[in-house]
Amino acid sequence: MPSQVISDRYELVQPLSHGGMGDVWRGYDRVLDRPVAVKLVRQAAIATPAMAEEFAKRFKREARVTARIQHPGVPQVHDAVLDASYERLYLVMELVDGTPLGDYIDPHQPLPVSWAIAVAAQVCTVLSHAHAVPVVHRDLKPANILVAEDGTVKVLDFGIAAVLRTDVTRITATGSPVGTSQYMAPEQVQGGRVAPQSDLYALGCILHELCCGRPLFDGDGQYQLMRQHVEAAPVPLRLLRDDVPEALEELVLHLLRKRPERRPADAQEVYERLLPFLPPPGRAPAPDEVGPVGTPDPTGIYRQPYAPRPRTGTQPSHIPPIHAGPSAPLAATAARLREDIKAARAQANALLKEERFAQAAEVLGEVVEPAALALGSDNGEVLDLRMERAAVRFLGGDYRRALPEFDALAGAFSRTAGPTSEKARSCRTQAAHCRAELGQVTLALQEFDAVLRQVRAVDSDASDEAIELRRAIGFLELSEGRLVEARRMLEPLHADMCVVYGPDDEDTVEIAEAMARIRLTLDGSAHQEAPEA
């Protein structure tokens, strides 16, 4: 079934979530060859042309204002698309891989207090930038907050509530309000003016829930919940959890005051009051600060601020591990699996012809996991699929993701076919090329040299593989200004290529021209250093 395409540019590839305000799809930007998130926003029926015109203006205005929020905790807005009927509107945004905040909330296993505070503090930094634009979120809740793999918090859906006018619901309304009543400020419930303090109230609800694992209020039905926000007093946190610091309890109660002017002045004040409870740089988590297994740690950015990227291992964190064994569920029948693999390869090849490398890699990745579950992670077909995906990433210039895959594949082929097997050598060579592109020159040269020694042990020094490796080493030395080492590699290589391919071969001529440049540079340096007669 062909993918739906928005604005002749964005493909809707896979549904990610479904909510009251709209559906989120994993999409693909055909122009820039990158994955995106596409949100289809629902809105009430538009009955007249005047309503359609007003709605279109409001949508475009809010999309532009939202795009002005420059903060890493707000996914970047790439595009806003409104169809001709005004019945469908789409926001095209940065795709964030992360864990929804709701996955952290468990009444039977409350979060470490430090984790709850770290999430709230990061949300405060986002709100401070948004409120300065000014943009009020209006629907802040756990479902609109993601924790990315590195622990950074991302706040989603800025501006959408404003587009849909969620602030017009009153407690006496008979219709269902747009938004989430569990986190709705009293003035929002009553249809009053929505201001930054409305977002701070929602943050108080979220912080309360993160600490105790339960919502602030648990009324039976939406109407009762809204009344509780307007009339009921919140239960102090320390009555529900005795290890909550007294100052944190006071802050949450301050955030939850019924009148907006009695809440903290702004998000900056809230952040400053949270700051004493955040872990200092360099301090490792204590045993009671370890959170849910498998979820990103939001305290990490405070423990290691501005830390470099994690060193790449044999399997990057964003690639799910492949498990195999007799207990693994069968992903598909053998016949269906073969068809899926064949279709994925055909689709990937078609995408490659259009130089859509990122999407081609995703298409191949979709069949890797089912194939590994059905056939085993070291199965030849599975390894070949992973090798094809890594090659596509390399062709697309995604060397950082291709490198760990090639490293892992080299190990797998070494186990299954031997360390000197052709595929093991090929993966090590490709990994070396990735390292060279990433600036890891010393490691790349070591890897090229190790593979060359393997090739020389099983084949001629003038074989195609050996010649390609010698060429890669020579040109890498040359690019680093190591002219003597480059000449030492390229001179005998040129002689062998004259015999194997002939002196007029394009590659042979290229080596000859490189040698001429090296001789010219080295001879010129020698003349400059010679003493005058």
pLDDT tens for 15-54 read 887 765 568 889 999 998 889 999 887 655 555 667 666 7
Task: Let me know: does 369 contact 319? Beta carbons within 8 Å.
Answer: no
- Judge whether 139 counts as a catalytic residue: yes
| DSSP per-residue codes, 107-141 | TTSPPPHHHHHHHHHHHHHHHHHHHTTT---S---
The CA-atom distances, in angstroms, between 397 and each of 37, 78, 359, 402, 468 are 22, 22, 13, 9, 20
Is 4-93 a domain of CATH 3.30.200.20? Answer: yes
| Amino acid 372: pLDDT | 86
Within 10 A of 379 (CB to CB), how many other CB atoms are there?
A: 16
User: What is the chain's mean pLDDT, rounded?
Assistant: 83
Which DSSP state fits 13? E
Provide the percentage of residues in the chain whose pLDDT is more than 70: 83
| DSSP per-residue codes, 53-112 | HHHHHHHHHHHHHHHT---TTSPPEEEEEE-TTSS-EEEEE----EEEGGGG--TTSPPP
Please tell me the distance from the alpha carbon of residue 67 to that of residue 401, in angstroms, as a whole number: 29
**pLDDT of residue 231 exceeding 60:** yes
Rounded to a whole number of angstroms, the distance between the first and last alpha carbons of the chain is: 82
| Amino acid 82: pLDDT | 72
Per-residue pLDDT, averaged over 192-205, amounts to 92
pLDDT tens for 407-460 read 999 999 988 888 889 999 999 999 999 998 888 889 999 999 999 999 998 888
Task: Tell me if residue 478 falls in helix, strand or coil.
Answer: helix
| Amino acid 330: pLDDT | 41
Please tell me the distance from the alpha carbon of residue 141 to that of residue 30, in angstroms, as a whole number: 32
Q: Which residues contact 322 (CB under 8 A, 6 or more apart)?
A: 368, 369, 372, 373, 377, 382
Per-residue pLDDT, averaged over 235-250, amounts to 95
| Amino acid 97: pLDDT | 82
**Which amino acid would we find at residue 151?**
G
**pLDDT of residue 176 exceeding 80:** no
Please choose, from the candidates 157, 130, 129, 126, the residue with its C-alpha nearest in 3D space to the C-alpha of residue 141.
157
In this structure, what is the dihedral angle of CA atoms 145, 146, 152, 155, given to the nearest 10 degrees?
Answer: -40
Indicate which residue of 8, 79, 106, 139 is catalytic. 139
Provide the percentage of residues in the chain whose pLDDT is more than 90: 44
Helix and strand tally (H, E) in the chain? 19, 9
Please choose, from the candidates 111, 74, 112, 70, the residue with its C-alpha nearest in 3D space to the C-alpha of residue 91.
74
- Domain residue ranges of the chain, discontinuous segments joined by +: 4-93, 98-303
**pLDDT of residue 86 exceeding 90:** no
- Which residue do the tokens 């090849």 mark? 349
H-helix segments, 330-379: 334-353, 357-375
| Amino acid 504: pLDDT | 93
**Which amino acid would we find at residue 333?**
T
The CA-atom distances, in angstroms, between 214 and each of 31, 102, 144 are 45, 11, 17
**pLDDT of residue 300 exceeding 50:** yes
Per-residue pLDDT, averaged over 322-332, amounts to 40
Please choose, from the candidates 165, 287, 171, 164, the residue with its C-alpha nearest in 3D space to the C-alpha of residue 225.
171
| Amino acid 85: pLDDT | 64
| Amino acid 15: pLDDT | 87
Same fold for the domain at 4-93 and the one at 98-303?
A: no
Query: At 152, is the pLDDT very low, low, confident or very high (cuts 50, 70, 90)?
Result: very high
The reported pTM is 0.62
pLDDT tens for 473-514 read 999 988 888 899 999 999 999 999 999 999 999 999 999 999
Superfamily of domain 98-303: Transferase(Phosphotransferase) domain 1 (1.10.510.10)
In this structure, what is the dihedral angle of CA atoms 252, 253, 254, 259, given to the nearest 10 degrees?
Answer: 130
The CA-atom distances, in angstroms, between 7 and each of 82, 83, 159, 350 are 9, 8, 21, 21
Within 10 A of 310 (CB to CB), how many other CB atoms are there?
A: 10
